[in-house]
Structure 1
Amino acid sequence: MTALSSRRPMFAAAYVLALAAGALAPAGAFAQTNPPAAAPADQQPQFTPEQLALAQKAIDASKSVAGFDDILPGVAEQTKALFVRSNPLLASDIDEVTDKVALSLAPQRRDLDRVLEEVWARRFTQEELQQIIDFYQSPVGKKLASLSPELVALSIGAAKQWQDKIATEMVTQVRIEMDKRGHRL
């Protein structure tokens, strides 16, 4: 098994984690500003190197995008499966070539980092970014960062169970009410 094929894609979980990371922080742990309205293309905000560095440090401290490292290996696995399905006799060559191409594409991961830095820099001031960093460097912040994947998974599971329960109750109650009106569903 290659280094790339030993990892499983976690893009969806990582995406949810990234979205939820701020929501899971204790109230008052750091202030969040409302994002400004989108600027016209010719007036895109310019961020200082310090802002972007603080944003990256906050991202790293929160561990909110750790699963994004699995995107490229996941795409490589999907690519292998696609080509092997069409020609199984070439599986060994397909694995070798796909791993080589994936490794050549790995430096492009920095492009995603730049976008994420700007996303955070656009939404938080430098002072807020420093507060986020300070929080995630505290014992409770470190604990939150390490437990976030588990918390998100458990939260998603609980929400799914609740959704299923509510859906069953809704269908039952709508049927009862429609029966009262003389309609059989």
Structure 2
Amino acid sequence: MKLKSLLSAGAVVGASLMFTSLQPLSVKAQEFTASHLEAARQLVIETKALESFDDILPLLAEQTRTLFIQSDPARTQEVVDVSTEVALKLASKRTELNNMVYEVWARRFTEEELIQLADFYRSPIGQKLAKNGPTVTALAIGAARQWQDKISTEMVALVREELDKRAAE
């Protein structure tokens, strides 16, 4: 189950990064002051926004292992060893993702706004939001899905009832 949720998360992250890279060059080429990017970095740290990306590299390593093991099961241990070594080498590239995230925030907020937001997230209520935000969001999405399923069933029943009524007339 965890692999399935990681795959979904990986797909969302990949789509988000692809969308970011497809933005117009004029936006992408925007230059930020060091202090603006530092304000974005501070906010990202305070919001714990990078934590959701921590599973990307392990997930990619697992997917790569699976691919190679399926191709040549006799080399399973070798594939595990090599894919782990490569994943550890690639870990240093994580700063590229972090910098991309800082720029995403810097594009959407002024330096002053980023500072104000970081100050908020340093407050007790901001820390509580950073800690509980992902759980609350997941629960809200779950509630929306549950409501959608209920309404869908109700809609089908009501449409069927109305169509049957009209057919009888």
Q: Smaller-chain TM-score range?
A: 0.7 to 0.9
TM-score (norm 1): 0.76
Q: Distance in 2 between matches of 1:42 and 1:168?
A: 44
Q: What amino acid is the match of 2:120?
A: F
Give how far 1:10 is off.
Answer: 7.4
CA distance in 2 between counterparts of 1:42 and 1:157 reads 35
Whether 1:49 and 2:34 are equivalent positions in the alignment is yes
Q: Residue in 1 aligned with 2:130?
A: 145
For the 8 Å contact 1:54–1:129, the answer to whether it is kept is yes
- Structure 2 CA distance, aligned partners of 1:81 and 1:43? 35
Runs of 4+ in structure 1 deviating by more than 4 angstroms, as ranges, are none
Give SS of 1:46's match.
coil
Secondary structure of 1:58's counterpart equals helix
Contact 2:120 2:126 in 1 (8 A): yes
2:50–2:98 CA contact under 8 A, matched in 1: no
- Residue 95 of structure 1 deviates from its aligned partner by 0.5
Over the residues paired in the alignment, what is the CA RMSD in angstroms?
2.4
Matches for 1:11-160 after TM superposition, within 5 Å: 12=9, 40-41=25-26, 44-160=29-145
Percent pairwise identity = 47
After superposition, the C-alpha distances for 1:1-42 in whole angstroms (9 at most, x for unaligned) are xxxxxxx947629x69xx9xxxxxxxxxxxxxxxxxx66549
Query: Which residue pairs with 1:170 in the alignment?
Result: 155
CA pair 122-157 structure 1, distance change in 2 beyond 3 A: same
Work out which structure has the larger RCO, using CA pairs closer than 8 Å and 6 or more positions apart in sequence: 1
Give yes or no for contact 1:84–1:94 (8 Å, CA) kept in 2.
yes
Amino acid at match of 2:95: R
Deviations 1:74-105 (A, max 9, x none): 11011111111222221110010001111111
Higher helix share: 2
Structure 1 unaligned blocks of 5 or more: 1-7, 20-37
- Partners of 1:114 and 1:142 lie apart in 2 by 23
Distance verdict in 2 for CA 1:43–1:109, change over 3 Å: closer
**What TM-score results when the alignment is normalised by the length of structure 2?**
0.82
Could you report, residue by residue, the CA deviation over 1:135-181 in whole angstroms, capped at 9, with x for unpaired residues? 11000111111112211221121111011011101111111121122
CA contact (8 A) 1:59 1:65 kept: yes
